[in-house]
Structure 1
Amino acid sequence: MERRRMLAASGAAAAVLPVLAAPALAQAMPEIRWRCASSFPRALDTIYGAGEHVARRVAALTDNKFRIQVFQAGEIVPGLATLDAVQAGTVDCTHTASYYFVGKDPTFAFDGTVPFGMNFRQLNSWLNAGGGREVLKPFFDTYNVVSLQAGNTGAQMGGWFRREIRTVEDLRGLKFRIGGFAGNVLAKLGVVAQQIAGGDIYPALERGTIDAAEWVGPYDDEKLGFQRVAPYYYFPGWWEGGLNLAMLVNKAKMEELPPLYREVLESACRDATIETMAKYDRVNPEALRRLVAGGAQLRPFPRPVMEACYRAAMEVYEETSNTNAHFKRVWEHFKAYRETQLQWFRVAENSYDSFVYAMQAQEQQARR
């Protein structure tokens, strides 16, 4: 009898322990509130939504103890000025594309995407398993920020043009809204590159201030309405084989976080990367069909144009490496990893994809 009472008592105590432990853990967790300035407008639910996804996951995993409020571009600072705000402590972090800040240093491009670089999977491998994050860290340290991977768009489209591009000569004098390092490459071919925030592109294209504009891909481009003012839709966006989105965090703020919160933030950013890519792969095919059905003229860049752009890109990489030590160090590491990735993808991935595409084309032709 005595033994049964002791077992019952110990069982009751064990049942109480989890109830007591959870509030005790919650009470031990500090209340932290961050502000995040996005570089994107709220209307672009996929790319802006990656930042919101991080905020939701962080709150959910900390019982709302750690909360991040996301502000769309322009609410606190303009979309292309968010890095300055993070450095100044005006905000704690920014959800952005690091290549927006190549005007400060072209090395920022490697944290986003570079012309004829790697696709989503290859870049993800470089950053997380190939030493890319470690190679970039000394560079980001000079800006007192920490970069966390927080989304990806996949390979992008080549943009909307008011007139057709048939030859390399057609690029000369073209006023083209294009982000990142690609503007330096196209400048070699006579393009006048313009870096304009997402929400300001349509009016510039409509007024004729620019002749062409690229953003992301069908889903986002349709939302921005480019098809109404520029009929020719080119592909591929050779300058963005897979744009990595980043959560750039003030370094001091990152170091102040409890270890648990740092792990939660990094986990939420990784989750956002998977979710964002998955959503783009779902919504882009449907949007492309709608755009073409609505009159968009789908065009591939002519092969001579692509080849000229590739040669120009390789020249710019070498020229920039000669004058920028950070860029040279990262480019050499990036280039070596890209070479091994391309060798592997040609063997299995590209062979498989090419065969399946060819068979699909045959089946579609047979059904006509």
Structure 2
Amino acid sequence: MSLKFPLSKLTHGLAVAALIGGTAVSTNVAAEKVRWQVPLAFPSHLIGLTTPVKHLTENLKAISGGDVELRYYEPGELIPAFEIMDAVSTGKYPAGYTWVGYDQGTIPALPLYSGAPFNMEPPAYLAWYYEGEGKELLEEIYDKRNIHPMLCSIIGPEGAGWFAKPIEGLDDFDGLRIRFAGIGGKVLEELGASVTMLPAGELYQALERGTIDATEFSQPAIDKMLGLDQIIKNYIMPGWHQTLTTSHLLVNKDVWNKLEPQSRALIEMGCESATLKGFAQSEYAQPTALREYEEEGVNAQTLPEPVLRELEDATNKVLDDIASEDEMFKRVLTSQRDFMKHHSIWHSKGYLPRDFYEYD
């Protein structure tokens, strides 16, 4: 939903009169002033990944008449990208906007929320998150960290990475030095790759200097913004390791609980609006980026189905191993698998097959 409507001209304390069933109802759009510093995990210009935070901040300021202001800061400007959760948890900053998978070492279940291998596509994920158990389980996870989490962005599948040579089989991953995130990284480790984690701003240099042999980061349009296609010309698809990517607004729970109900509702609605806006921006940008890759001679390889099936088998083993060691991971994974099985009758019968759409 969009928050851009005439209420943006209201100032603090202005009452809106509405007749409901003949009764006049007066409502304050905002009842307090909110001023938050919000560190980002990614540069703010990355389409669909962080651009929703601009939509969020602009609309919250407009609809509240300037009472709710979230000022965001680029990665490293306040704190390093990987430190956002701890900074919000301790109250060093009231909120942060991040990819929660960065904290998988502390909370193993988080990559199931940030984007997991062979998982749901965005429409099904949103159904599971908002109408199923997803939101409730995530709030339970973060409750122990004194954090209130809000889904604030979702985009579709990533590319599976940039490789010096095409991938023809699982043996091609053996020995690779690769930047790979989330559970997909653990799968590649099982296949013999040396996996490292680097933030977006360090990827170009790492490839250029040969510190890593290959990398994945995000979708075609975002990878293009980072210049990855300038160094490597083999682009592997589809994003088996992340069928979607989310970003979340994490708010210190003490700060959140002190807000008036009106302010909390505005921020929740703002994140829902930002999620929709970011998804639209992302879907609009990807085909343009892929067609530009073609013109530049980038080889956008689609992995053969037998390779994808083998990756799926390896992924399920990794997922089951993690589930056997962490109870919350098991609860979230079971919930997702149950919903995917339930949803499959609609997904398989209600939508046109992939090959119905012609590509030329």
Q: Please report the TM-score for the alignment, with normalisation by the length of structure 1.
A: 0.88
Aligned to 1:284: 286
**Structure 1 residues 134 and 42 mapped into 2: Cα distance closer, same or farther (>3 Å)?**
closer
Task: State the SS of the aligned residue for 2:325.
Answer: coil
Aligned to 1:61: 63
Distance 1:210 1:355 in 2: 35
The C-alpha deviation readout for 1:131-151, integer Å capped at 9, x for no partner, is 211122221111111111111
**Structure 1 residues 340 and 28 mapped into 2: Cα distance closer, same or farther (>3 Å)?**
closer
Distance 1:45 1:112 in 2: 16
Aligned to 2:180: 178
Aligned to 1:52: 54
Distance 1:308 1:27 in 2: 53
Q: In 1, are the aligned partners of 2:48 and 2:154 still within 8 Å (CA)?
A: no
Q: In 1, are the aligned partners of 2:37 and 2:95 still within 8 Å (CA)?
A: yes
Q: Which amino acid aligns with 1:264?
A: L
Q: In 1, are the aligned partners of 2:31 and 2:263 still within 8 Å (CA)?
A: no
Q: Does residue 318 of structure 1 match 2:320? A: yes
1:111-150 aligned at under 5 Å gives the runs 111-150=113-152
Aligned to 1:354: 354
Q: In 2, are the aligned partners of 1:101 and 1:180 still within 8 Å (CA)?
A: no
Task: State the SS of the aligned residue for 1:165.
Answer: coil
Distance 1:126 1:214 in 2: 26
**Structure 1 residues 168 and 274 mapped into 2: Cα distance closer, same or farther (>3 Å)?**
same
**Structure 1 residues 72 and 329 mapped into 2: Cα distance closer, same or farther (>3 Å)?**
same
Q: In 2, are the aligned partners of 1:85 and 1:91 still within 8 Å (CA)?
A: yes
1:88-127 aligned at under 5 Å gives the runs 88-127=90-129
Task: State the SS of the aligned residue for 1:39.
Answer: coil
Q: Post-superposition shift, 1:253?
A: 1.1
Structure 1, unmatched stretches of 5+, are 1-18
Q: Which amino acid aligns with 1:277?
A: F
Equivalent of 2:269 in 261, 267, 289: 267
Q: Please report the TM-score for the alignment, with normalisation by the length of structure 2.
A: 0.90
Task: State the SS of the aligned residue for 1:262.
Answer: helix
Aligned to 2:244: 242
Q: In 2, are the aligned partners of 1:26 and 1:63 still within 8 Å (CA)?
A: no
Task: State the SS of the aligned residue for 2:335.
Answer: helix
The C-alpha deviation readout for 1:157-210, integer Å capped at 9, x for no partner, is 111112221121110011111111211121111121211111111111111111
Task: State the SS of the aligned residue for 1:249.
Answer: strand
Task: State the SS of the aligned residue for 2:153.
Answer: strand
Q: Post-superposition shift, 1:223?
A: 0.9
Distance 2:183 2:170 in 1: 19
Distance 1:247 1:184 in 2: 26
Distance 1:184 1:291 in 2: 29
Q: Post-superposition shift, 1:356?
A: 2.9
Q: In 2, are the aligned partners of 1:168 and 1:304 still within 8 Å (CA)?
A: no
Q: In 1, are the aligned partners of 2:236 and 2:302 still within 8 Å (CA)?
A: yes
The C-alpha deviation readout for 1:326-351, integer Å capped at 9, x for no partner, is 111111111101111223201121xx
Q: Which of the two has higher C-alpha Rg? A: 1
Q: Post-superposition shift, 1:62?
A: 1.1
1:245-256 aligned at under 5 Å gives the runs 245-256=247-258
Aligned to 1:201: 203
Structure 1, 106-115 or 298-307: larger mean CA deviation: 298-307
Aligned to 2:10: none
Q: Which amino acid aligns with 2:264?
A: R
The C-alpha deviation readout for 1:265-314, integer Å capped at 9, x for no partner, is 00000001111110111111111111111111111123333222111111
Which has a greater percent of helix? 1
Q: In 2, are the aligned partners of 1:176 and 1:211 still within 8 Å (CA)?
A: yes
Distance 2:271 2:14 in 1: 31
Q: Percent identity?
A: 28
**Structure 1 residues 261 and 290 mapped into 2: Cα distance closer, same or farther (>3 Å)?**
same
Aligned to 2:6: none
Task: State the SS of the aligned residue for 1:244.
Answer: strand
Q: In 2, are the aligned partners of 1:97 and 1:245 still within 8 Å (CA)?
A: yes
Structure 2, unmatched stretches of 5+, are 1-12, 17-25
In angstroms, what is the RMSD of aligned CA positions? Answer: 2.0
Equivalent of 1:214 in 213, 216, 219: 216
